[in-house]
Structure 1
């Protein structure tokens, strides 16, 4: 392992929808927990409280959280519109169930001392307790014509402003063509794929499409060959890419609570920075339509190398 890098362990999950995690999840220690959204099923404040208690129990000093479409009370304009359209502005029972505007955000702000950090869309740079520098881009937005939170019209698209020096991308939904197949169609976002193909982070983790649970290491083609409108057909060399695992490989009788994978320099399959990206679909809740016999999907434990913060800052000066 390079002296300029630090092995960093991530525990990654998504789409818990307020459910309890298996006890085995709390036996694993990590440097960072990542939750890719859909913390709740109906955005009830009690569901947020239950999820926060689960996050508190996970063994990691830092727990990064984004919203999903089900967490619409965190999308204040959408929440206000829902209340207004239903004519419930003065209904006190609504506040008992969902909380007041911004109340859920306050819940997360009060958890920062416990290491739970809610991320809005954008780039977030921090030094981890293990000394690594973590550069993250986060976005809760997904394409839809529905009536949920953090969504945009598919035909209008969305501007994912991912810089090329970002290490990890956390989104709620998948990019088009990557573990996004549901209802006989691709549900991922082409704009997100283009942004990922241009920035080529070490890891992109997401959920949203429960049937897509799994992980793959994508080998990028040469930038000069994919043009200005990259797609999963043109930008990825599937002959050189590899599947870590996927739902069809899980046995309902023996499926573990946590699946472990490691891609550091000294590992059997090291990740080649700027040439490969590890894609993780971490949807925890099983899909009713998959027919795989699973009630829940494993949480992901991933080891990657991040740059040492001291060395990066010394080089900057």
Structure 2
């Protein structure tokens, strides 16, 4: 797995914004969990991605035969992640660490109809608008799998190269916030990097660079510092 080749710098919080697996088999999850468990971070936060199929349990129950010859247990996958010390930031999950509020969601625009369905996909428009409306005030660090539209989201896939494929509703939601310091995401490998506005630092932390594969190029981990905030608790 690619993560075995990643060399992480020191830090307090390890953030992974999804696609820790190719298609979410229990074997892949076990490999990832062994790697994470060996990392010396006090906190380890994960927002799952569309490739982490069993992590979207109800969806997987319906679609697993489209991906796997044998059923991969969502329960066992969840147990492995917990035993590795990973906090899974499911939809609407918030966590305060040393006065800093983290909020996460794995939801994203669903795959085109020409492709097999994948985990955590929602229709563009009202479904995702309602999801991002749940983000409370006082969030310092937002963690999503999808990027917002037109921010570090240019596709590197053949036939769609350079096209913005992020979430329009997420872009609208974050543009209206005055309290968001950092927004971390992944999903679009060609968008790796950092973009700063007056209010927010946007980070596409996708590890796998193009061309992808077990021997493909890797992007460096991105480190950011954030000051503690004692006011504006999330509610």
Instruction: Tell me what 2:19 maps to.
Output: 38
- TM-score w.r.t. the length of structure 2 is 0.84
CA contact (8 A) 1:143 1:157 kept: no
Q: Which runs of 5+ in 2 are unaligned?
A: none
2: CA distance between counterparts of 1:23 and 1:192? 29
Q: Against the structure 1 CA distance between its residues 157 and 176, is the aligned structure 2 distance closer, same or farther, given a 3 Å change threshold?
A: farther
2: CA distance between counterparts of 1:204 and 1:179? 11
Would you say 1:69 and 2:35 are equivalent positions?
A: no
Q: Against the structure 1 CA distance between its residues 21 and 300, is the aligned structure 2 distance closer, same or farther, given a 3 Å change threshold?
A: farther
Instruction: Tell me what 1:81 maps to.
Output: 62
CA contact (8 A) 2:182 2:202 kept: yes
Out of 75, 90, 99, which is 1:102 matched to? 75
2: CA distance between counterparts of 1:216 and 1:302? 13
2: CA distance between counterparts of 1:21 and 1:212? 22
2: CA distance between counterparts of 1:185 and 1:84? 31
1: CA distance between counterparts of 2:14 and 2:6? 16
Instruction: Tell me what 1:204 maps to.
Output: 183
2: CA distance between counterparts of 1:94 and 1:23? 30
CA contact (8 A) 2:36 2:84 kept: no
Return the index of the structure with the highest Cα Rg. Answer: 1
- Where relative contact order (Cα < 8 A, 6+ residues apart) is larger, the structure is 1
Q: Against the structure 1 CA distance between its residues 164 and 198, is the aligned structure 2 distance closer, same or farther, given a 3 Å change threshold?
A: farther
Runs (4+) off by over 6 Å: none
Q: Deviations over 1:62-107 (max 9, x none)?
A: 0001110000111112211114678x9xxxx614xx2x24221121
Pairing of 1:106-125 with structure 2 (within 5 A) = 106-112=79-85, 116-125=86-95
| Partner SS, residue 52 of structure 1 | helix
Out of 17, 30, 33, which is 1:52 matched to? 33
CA contact (8 A) 1:135 1:167 kept: yes
Query: Which has more strand, going by share of residues?
Result: 1
